[in-house]
A and B are shown apart, each in its own frame.
Chain A
Amino acid sequence: MFALVKLVFLSPLSRVARRAAPIILLSALAAALAPSVSAQPKDAPSKRLEAIRAEMDKGQGLFVAGNYAGAAEVFEAGYAAYPYSAFLFNAGVCYQKQNDVDRALAKFREYIKVDPNAPDRDKVNQRIATLEAAKAAAVVPALGEAGSTGDAGAQAPVALPTGDDQTSMKSLVVIETEPDGAPLRIYQRVDPTAQFTLGAANPGFKEVASTNAPANLTLDVGQYHVVVEKFRDFNASEADMTVSPGHVHQLKANLSQGKFMAFLRVSSSVMGAHIWIDDKKKERSLWGNTPHGELVPGGKHDVLVEAPGFEPLLSSVELEHGQQKELEVRLERLGYGVLRVDATAPVVSVRVDDLPKGVWRTGTEPLDIRFDAGEHRLTVEADGRKTFRGKVVVPRGQILPLHVKMIPKYPRGPAWTQAIIGAAFLGASIYAGVESNRLYDEVKKDRENGNLESGDERATRGKWLAGGADAGFVIAGVLGGLATYNFIKDPLPESSLTEDKLLEFEDPLKTRPVARLAPQQALRQDVAAVERAPRLELMPSASTTGGGLFLGGKF
């Protein structure tokens, strides 16, 4: 089934030339509201309407099936939950069908009471009078019979009108405008051949209600014409409406400000990119997120498309009245990216290309480093940890999360100990060697001069010193070797880097791009060339008398 779920009419297109000639974009409402109503922005009212509709449909179904008691019960419950007068009237009809005149009268009277300005007030009062008359007529014969039989007070059966069928059910009509508060006039077509002309006498129509939007009306089945009168600087609008029995109808009017409109649709290689129209400085709220289409006035427009991580793109588009145009843009990534660094050490300092870029501490947010896209040298240092040095590729317009695993430095205590002891041995050995050489020279001199004793203490001391020096040199050498080895030895792995999945830039508007699309043509001027088969279709419509937007779908 093809269901029209929303009416948006924007008229007139030309205040000057064709102000009195409204364009009716949609004149019929669905007998049942489809789930696609959820396309409306306000969710809660939609659900409420859906519930009302369900109650109304249920009661209508029971009524058609002849279960008047059940239908009356449903309508009574519907009114209790949603106090719309249509429920009262329909309940009264159900009681009437059951010849329960009192309860029927009660419901009709309550209907008049809660909705004294009901368009069908006269008809309902007439129905009340008829029922009262029928009830009175039934009492008189009963009194006569009672006098003869002595059974005074007995009531004769009431003979109520029985012409009510399912078309007798009243429907609930909800009329809203954007913005709210617009004055409404609802005319019922009394002459099936009459055409409504705004501002004319329109003898074929009868005004049944005059109120302000939003309005909840209980209307009989029939043809109606809804007029939204000029409101503030908004133009007047109008639409035909057919009211089915026992249903809920919703009518919403987006008011235009009175120019001829064109339709612009903007899409980009980045889903959800933000669009501003004629607002380079982004001082107003955004126009929409790609893909997005909307009526716009004809003429030249500046279209600014932005997405986090991409270079903003400013395009200029020229629209003629009633023209549809699709603008497809391909956003390019930014020339820089962000490295988001954290580590396994309490405090780390980060350098990129040897330039200090900050310090990250455990418990804080990762350190974001903005840098030109491309390959760079990354250095991460921490006390007591091995310095990480490596290369990273900074993405274009994206965030690269980096987790640096900082490995503790291998303890060099033994190496230092060996080095120090070795140095001490070396120093002592040098001293002992020098001293030994000095003694040797002395002893040798004495030897050469013939004065050296066989047991010269210096020779003994020099010998010990020489031995000690040699031993010390060997020990120092061994310790030096061990120290060198232990300085070099490192069984622990090097600090390492783990790259996480690339992240997109934070969206300040909290609507993030959802996917990257394949590159497309930057700009297509020929709207006809664009063929799509969306499930939800937004169709603009324009004529010499105005423009509007038609939204429909297949379910």
Chain B
Amino acid sequence: MSEFFSMGGHGAYVWSAYGITLAVLIVNVWLVRAKRRSALQRAKALATQDEVPRKQPTVRRLQ
């Protein structure tokens, strides 16, 4: 087992490369979620405002 983690003496390089890659993926997921949350919050705040809604352009539904 310790042989596996030592990676023939290159363990520090291999494991930190995989660890940093995993961390980058996690950070990306977290950043997207944070952006999504703040965007939805703002949209909901807009939607619940009682002001007269702005005039919407007329849209034709795509078939």
A and B together in one complex:
no
